[in-house]
Amino acid sequence: MEIPKRPAPPSGLRRALFRLPVHLYRMGLGPLFGDRFLLLEHVGRASGERRQAVVEVVEHSGDDYIVCSGFGPRTDWYRNLVKTPRATVQVGRSRFAVTARPLDAEEGGELMIRYAPRHPRSAMKLLRYMGYIVDGTKDDYRRVGRELPFVRLSRVR
């Protein structure tokens, strides 16, 4: 695996395309995404205002959803959750409060090993887009997973 310089988060037209799922959720079309994606509502770390992002669910178990910041720890939604871990998610039509907890590098490595075989084409395309070159082995996916920031979103009861 080659570890790249992280690409900058999208801007311009590419950013508008990345934000399109947020608008679809706002239009009530969240169920189209099933439980593979969720709408994350969080608080801006500087503005204190409500922010939204749609992120892919890497793994789901019970009341926990694990997501990953593919653009690294500088991504706004990730930095916002680190500062204010309370958030709300929408999965399909269900909305509920969560608490965010960043995971350590070892957990990230193991998560990536489990994710890649479940979604092989998505994994390869996403990693290529982020600048990683992987050979498809568990060790390579583990190394990539150790580089990416994963977050556990636990439902508040």
Residue whose tokens read 């934000």: 19
**Does 78 reside within a domain?**
yes
Q: Which domain holds residue 55?
A: 12-155
pLDDT by residue for the chain (157 residues), tens only, comes to 555 556 667 778 877 777 889 999 999 999 999 999 999 999 999 999 999 999 999 999 999 999 999 888 989 999 999 999 999 999 999 999 999 999 999 999 999 999 999 999 989 888 888 888 888 899 999 999 999 999 999 999 8
Number of domains in the chain: 1
Helices (H) and strands (E) in the chain, counts: 5, 6
Contact call for residues 107 and 100 (beta carbons, < 8 A):
no
Q: Is residue 47 situated within a structural domain?
A: yes
At 95, which CATH number? 2.30.110.10
In a domain, 140, yes or no: yes
In a domain, 1, yes or no: no
